[in-house]
Amino acid sequence: DVRHGPILYLEDVSVSFDGFKAINNLNLTIDDGELRCIIGPNGAGKTTMMDIITGKTRPDTGSVWFGSRHNLLALSEPDIASLGIGRKFQKPTVFEALTVFENLELAMATDKRILPTLTAVMTAEYRERIDEVLALIGLTGLRDRPAGILSHGQKQWLEIGMLLMQKPRLLLVDEPVAGMTEQEMERTAELLTGLAGQQSVVVVEHDMGFVRSIARTVTVLHQGSVLAEGSMDEVANDPDVIRVYLGE
């Protein structure tokens, strides 16, 4: 494990919707280069937590830090993204009529630091980055095919690749293996574990087999706060976790 201290730090974060505490004194630290899985029953606050990190939802209280310098609560959603926080939603949203290569090319343009010089950026450096990402996501052989012909799993990898184009420091990934075949799940495990170390990856996932296959540390959310944290075996044997998952 490559660990370089915390990259993301949530302290005493709470948010209510119409008086209902969706996030309740949440404390979470993600280390640089770490791959963390977040699990928890429906309504535990996983989506809201991701929304808070990306600036989509603002907490009522608490603080959210990225690296040692960036108070995310003081930044807009696009500015948070520009710091290198990428989010992958559950459903793939690739441009089906464009080729795999063109999708990756386009992904660079969403970085507003690059947009003004887009016509100039198709330099060797960027083509190299596309080739690198194609290799990472295992789609080199399909680079000139329309994204519409890809399997569900391949579309998910392409979308992860689109996020990787901008070399994010932190990737937030929502249920990456939902709807995937066993083989696609194995390939996704390799992809995500391979990415960790280069960047931090936070994965929200329901599939426990998959979580077990990738996670070193698992955080269990329940009623908006951390119920348990540790290795998969530690949390799976935690009486509180068993109670929550099997019902009270």
Query: Which residues of this chain interact with ligand ADP, rule CB under 6 A?
Result: 17, 22, 40, 42-48
Which one, of 92, 72, 91, lies nearest residue 82 by Cα?
72
Give min distance, CB of 17 to ligand ADP, in A: 3
Give min distance, CB of 25 to ligand ADP, in A: 14
Helix (H, G, I), strand (E, B) or coil at 100: helix
Nearer to ligand ADP, 16 or 99 (CB): 16
Helix (H, G, I), strand (E, B) or coil at 171: strand
Give min distance, CB of 124 to ligand ADP, in A: 42
Nearer to ligand ADP, 36 or 46 (CB): 46
DSSP 8-state symbol, 247: -
Nearer to ligand ADP, 43 or 67 (CB): 43
E-state strands within 78-164:
85-88
Residue 75 to residue 79: CA distance in whole angstroms: 6
Give min distance, CB of 223 to ligand ADP, in A: 9
8 A C-beta contact, residue 59 and residue 15: yes
Nearer to ligand ADP, 49 or 191 (CB): 49
Give min distance, CB of 37 to ligand ADP, in A: 13
8 A C-beta contact, residue 28 and residue 8: yes
Give min distance, CB of 228 to ligand ADP, in A: 15
Burial class from Cβ neighbours inside 10 Å (0-12, 13-18, 19+) for residue 100 reads buried
Tokens of 86: 């990428």
DSSP 8-state symbol, 120: G
Nearer to ligand ADP, 17 or 89 (CB): 17
SS percent in the chain: helix, strand, coil, step 5: 40, 25, 30
Nearer to ligand ADP, 150 or 171 (CB): 171
Residue 221 CA from chain centroid, whole number: 16
